[in-house]
Amino acid sequence: MHEMSLCENILGILLDEAASQNFSKVDRVCLEVGPLSGVEPEALRFGFDVVTRGSLADGAQLDIFEPEATATCAACGTTAVIQDRFDPCPSCGSHLLKIKTGEELRIKELEVS
Amino acid sequence: MCTVCGCRSGETRIEDGAEHSHGHHAHHHRHYGTGDAGDSVPGMSQSRLIQLEQDILSKNNSYANANRRYFAEHGIFALNLVSSPGSGKTSLLVETLKRLGKTHACYVIEGDQQTTNDADRIRETGVPALQINTGKGCHLDGHMIGHALERLAPQDGAYVFIENVGNLVCPAAFDLGEAHKVAILSVTEGEDKPLKYPDMFAAADVMLLNKTDLLPYVDFDVAIATANARKINPDIKVLTVSARTGDGLEDWIDWINTAQAELFAGCATTEAAE
């Protein structure tokens, strides 16, 4: 359950951006959270509400974009969508998969005023 | 709460009695409600969109990178030991230090929610150790390690072992600046643990299977556990050890020394190329 400290990290970034980009209120935060990032979006939502209470992002809308996880097989070269890290290559069954996407954990954009 | 380190001041304590204080830092900390963001900015009331594309862990990563630079500048080799509670991390570390401490300067940073028990056990071996209590926190982060290094002041060329909070989930996400994460799994746990906690085994370069002296008494198949770990991480190195009997410890220590030599051989090559 490190979602709470991730939310504190998010708020820290918002405060830094507020100072450098001159805004005093955050209306919407858009995150990209990959399925292999080790983060539970619902726990993140809960943590975000708690952590931002009384801050410049109090009441801000939280949009979480969840991209697909993809991996390339080192054995046969196929790139495919996977659900979990332990999935075999759908083409040849090998586990020699190199993750390409799905580990994202970033703030994509902000709507501020 | 401190928004820079993500920890809660008053909860995280680094040994030597001092509360994790926010007065002495070189960087500026902003506390909720009173910082820059509390100021209103005239003429900026119109809503606008900012494309940020910033990693949420960027702050932790910058602390971790500062630690990594510090390690590189001082020729220090750091390992981050991660596992569930009760896998035998501290016992394994004690036995490792008894052997490695004869030939190398070693230091330990211990992470637990409460107590200094683990650091006390390490100090009994004569190796300097520092306890970080994370309070309710479930992992160590790069910022805590930076402070611990200030206090511990390891000598150049040393080995630093960081024993993370017993937790196979959260420590996977937080880079501390270490050369390698080492995941420890004991044979009293399930062979499917790498599948249940894939992020940690994906992040680790080595899996140590500990308590092998208990293999005759438990239904644990080393080959299955290894295969499961490699489904997650095809390159993971697997070593079997028993901290209790000492079996396999020579291979583990050989791995440490080889990895240390490889790391600094790589640095020397890079420097020569520059």
**CB spacing of B46 vs A54 below 8 angstroms:** no
pLDDT at B44: 47
Q: Is residue B149 part of a domain?
A: yes
CA B221, CA B215: separation in Å to the nearest integer?
Answer: 8
Which residue out of A3, A11, A15 would a mutagenesis test of the B interface target, given it has the greatest number of B Cβ atoms within 10 Å?
Answer: A15
Chain A CA closest to residue B172: A38
Three-state secondary structure string covering chain A: CCHHHHHHHHHHHHHHHHHHHCCCCEEEEEEEECCCCCCCHHHHHHHHHHHHCCCCCCCCEEEEECCCEEEEECCCCCEEEECCCCCCCCCCCCCCEEEEECCCEEEEEEEEC
- Residue, of B127 and B27, whose pLDDT is higher: B127
Q: Over range B98-102, report the average pLDDT.
A: 95
> Does residue A90 belong to the interface with chain B, where contact is any CB pair within 8 Å?
no
**CB spacing of A111 vs B47 below 8 angstroms:** yes
Q: Is residue B9 part of a domain?
A: no
The predicted-structure confidence for B196-247, as pLDDT tens digits, reads as follows: 999 999 999 999 999 999 999 999 999 999 999 999 999 999 999 999 999 9
pLDDT at B13: 84
Q: Is residue B127 part of a domain?
A: yes
Residue B128 confidence (pLDDT) above 80? yes
Domain that holds residue B182: 75-269
CB atoms within 10 A of CB B52: 18
**CB spacing of B44 vs A24 below 8 angstroms:** yes
The predicted-structure confidence for A38-90, as pLDDT tens digits, reads as follows: 999 999 999 999 999 999 999 999 999 999 999 999 999 999 999 999 999 99
> Does residue A109 belong to the interface with chain B, where contact is any CB pair within 8 Å?
yes
Q: Is residue B210 part of a domain?
A: yes
Residue B145 confidence (pLDDT) above 50? yes
B177 pLDDT tier (thresholds 50, 70, 90) = very high
Is residue A44 within 8 Å of B59, Cβ to Cβ?
no
**CB spacing of A13 vs B59 below 8 angstroms:** yes
**CB spacing of B198 vs A86 below 8 angstroms:** yes
pLDDT at B37: 43
Q: Is residue B61 part of a domain?
A: no
Q: Over range B109-115, report the average pLDDT.
A: 94
A7 to chain B, closest Cα gap in Å: 8
Q: Which residues of A touch B40 (CB under 8 A)?
A: 24
Residue B271 confidence (pLDDT) above 70? no
**CB spacing of B199 vs A21 below 8 angstroms:** no
pLDDT at B270: 58
User: CATH number for the domain including B165?
Assistant: 3.40.50.300
pLDDT at A59: 96
Number of folded domains that form chain B: 1
The predicted-structure confidence for B23-65, as pLDDT tens digits, reads as follows: 333 333 333 333 344 444 444 457 899 999 999 999 999 999 9
pLDDT at B238: 98
Nearest to B256 by CA among B140, B174, B160, B156: B160
Q: What is the mean pLDDT of chain A?
A: 95
> What number is the ipTM of this complex?
0.88
Chain B CA closest to residue A32: B53
**CB spacing of A23 vs B41 below 8 angstroms:** yes
Q: Over range B170-180, report the average pLDDT.
A: 96
Residue A109 confidence (pLDDT) above 60? yes
Q: Is residue B160 part of a domain?
A: yes
pTM: 0.85
Q: Is residue B146 part of a domain?
A: yes
Number of A to B CB contacts under 8 A, please give it: 138
**CB spacing of B58 vs A84 below 8 angstroms:** no
% of chain B with per-residue pLDDT over 70: 82
Point out the residue among B4, B54, B173 whose CB comes nearest to the CB of A38: B173
Q: Over range B184-188, report the average pLDDT.
A: 97
pLDDT at B268: 63
> Does residue A82 belong to the interface with chain B, where contact is any CB pair within 8 Å?
no
Structural domains of chain A ordered from first start: 3-112 (3.30.2320.80)
Q: Is residue B63 part of a domain?
A: no
